[in-house]
Amino acid sequence: MKKIFFLLLCFITAGTTALNAQTCNAAFGWQANPNGNNIWNVDFYNSSSSSSGSNTYSMCTINYGDGSAVQYFGTGSPSTSHNYANSGTYNVTVSIQTYDSSSSGNTIVCSDVETQVVTISGSACASTVATQNNGSGSYTFTATNPAGTSGMTYSWDFGDGNTGSGNPVTHTYSTGGNYTVTLTSTGGGCSYTNAQAVNYFSSTFNCSSATAGFTSTVNNSLVQFTNTSSGNQNVPGTMYQGSWDFGDGTTSTFNYPNTYTASPTHNYTSTGTYSVTLTYEWVDSSGNQVLCTKTATNSVTVTNLTNYIDGYIWGDTAYNNPGGFTSDVKVWLIVHDANANTLTAVDSVALLFTPFSGTHYQFDNVPAGDYLVKAAVQGQTAGTTGWLPTYHDASVYWTNANTINHTGNISTDRNINMQSGTVTSGPGFIGGNISAGAGKGTGTGVEGMLVYLRGNNNQLIALAFTNAEGDYSFSNIPTGTYSVYPEAINYATTPYNTINVTASQAHVSAIDFEQTNDEIKPKNTTGITKVSEKDGLKIYPNPAKNSFTIDNQNGLFNEVKIMNAVGQLIKEISLKNGINKVDVSEMNAGIYYLLISGNDSSRSMKLVKQ
């Protein structure tokens, strides 16, 4: 199950101790602190620490457990408040990682994770306030009690010396000003106070004294803009809004009271000098009329790009692993050459895997190109329930993995959702061998190859690795229909399909494969003998665009099945004696396999669809 989380990042400045004594400690506290309309607000106190040395920096990540948070760049406070949308129980995680900035890849020198369960029940009397501006100083205030407590009473102080009661209420201000409206809601054995601001403008705005301005701090291609606009901020009833033009074809907007987007961080995707313009507007809050507009333009020069590929590794919640699971996970960065259909691992990192709170990985200074990312949990027992090696974002097969088209800048949120496999008890056994065949040397067994056992609908059941002789096996298998799928980078696999485990024939062996220069394919299938290529069968053109021809000259074959790279049946066609034209115009470009069979003969051939 895919999970998406926004993250709060805080960067902790480095100390001056040596790198050989690095320790990280993730720690935090929390306290419910309802205030105003934020009735499910929680204060978090991040006390994470690191014995940082020179040329190091640390990154803290606070995951609020509800799929949303606020992101900060640069140095920030270690404490934060978060308002949840509803009451409930949330798994909140704080992690810390310390990096050696002097290394070429910003090596992680230590890391730690802390997870706590945060339960928010809310108050029986807590009530929110909605404000409606009716114009000319008239406002309507409406209270809402999410708990639905009966017998609630509502008292209002409008901030101008007048009060009221009931719900909703309407009040008219006689003069412009900034007012605080206070609601006291009582019921369910408690009372709750909610204060909201009202800004009523009814005077003249001096635009000549207002100025727009900003400063910028460049960190490679990440630029932090600080809005320094000023003038008439204290005029009653006014608020601000505006926009940024970053000079690279992208823009952003902001409005009161969002101070974060008023001073944004922007990532440039290429080096150069950019003309950045800030437009700042002062607005009458009673009617949203723009009272004054000012602009400021400055140039920003980017000489280096911030360059990384990163993401989070999550455990699929379909595998309900007992809480507290932690283990090592290794992550590989793999160059994907789509034209040559080859993959080469160019970097890797070992991390602590926390499947339900997420593990952050990052590869820095990655050249532009196409990549795959793969994660594998270490130290698991083959054939038992566990996490399967998985590619971004949720594929156990490299042929179905999502390619990362990295431009040499930032490729973020390339998450990996680890898949799982489970074997229940049963009488069955499936085993076989994988050997090196034509073009692969001596023909001996292939050691260390990953082998998947799949169910009738290609769902993952278990995994195993071949031993030094190339042998593999799965035991304690329930009766049913299975397929076996070896997986190896750079090799297209034809799975061994329709393996039946029954009560009368629970032991199935000799499910053997041959590894050639570019593919892994079954040695024997369903007892059909593969005949010589003098069988009068010709296939052309190959590669094919919209169609290809099967010339069944001797009439030995009566059926062809077209399979994709993961063994799924794409098309099945009956063959006649002579010329057979096969339409493949609706098939996606890629590598396919033709399983051609007759009463006494079979052939398997690779087809490339352009």
pLDDT value at 309 more than 70: yes
- CB neighbours of residue 389 within 10 Å: 21
- 537-609: CATH architecture: Sandwich (2.60)
pTM tops 0.75, yes or no? no
CA 572-578-581 angle, to 5 degrees, is 45
pLDDT in tens, 373-417: 989 887 766 556 677 888 888 887 776 788 899 988 889 889 998
Top CATH class, 428-522? mainly beta
CATH fold group of domain 308-415: Immunoglobulin-like (2.60.40)
Domain extents for the chain?
Answer: 8-120, 128-200, 207-302, 308-415, 428-522, 537-609
Top CATH class, 8-120? mainly beta
* Equal CATH topology for 128-200 and 207-302: yes
- Position 80: which residue type? T
Mean pLDDT, the chain, integer: 79
CATH fold group of domain 207-302: Immunoglobulin-like (2.60.40)
Question: Greater confidence, 293 or 553?
Answer: 293
- Cα separations (Å) of 534 from 232, 553, 559, 599? 92, 10, 18, 16
pLDDT in tens, 239-277: 788 999 999 999 999 887 666 578 888 989 889 999 999
**286: confidence class by pLDDT, cuts 50, 70, 90:** low
List CB contacts of 62: < 8 A, sequence separation 6 or more. Answer: 7, 8, 10, 28, 44, 46, 69, 80, 92, 93, 94
pLDDT in tens, 95-106: 777 766 655 445
- Choose among 301, 455, 452: nearest CA to 388: 452
- In angstroms, the CA 480 to CA 499 distance is 8
Looking at residue 76, its pLDDT comes to 39
- 128-200: CATH architecture: Sandwich (2.60)
pLDDT in tens, 23-64: 778 888 899 899 899 999 999 887 777 765 566 667 777 888
pLDDT value at 144 more than 90: yes
pLDDT in tens, 238-248: 778 899 999 99
Rounded mean pLDDT, 359-374 = 90
- Kindly state the tokens that stand for 113: 């994770």
Parallel, antiparallel or unpaired: strands 428-436 and 513-515: parallel
Looking at residue 381, its pLDDT comes to 61
Flag the least confident range among 19-28, 172-181, 189-198. Answer: 19-28
Looking at residue 218, its pLDDT comes to 92
**85: confidence class by pLDDT, cuts 50, 70, 90:** confident
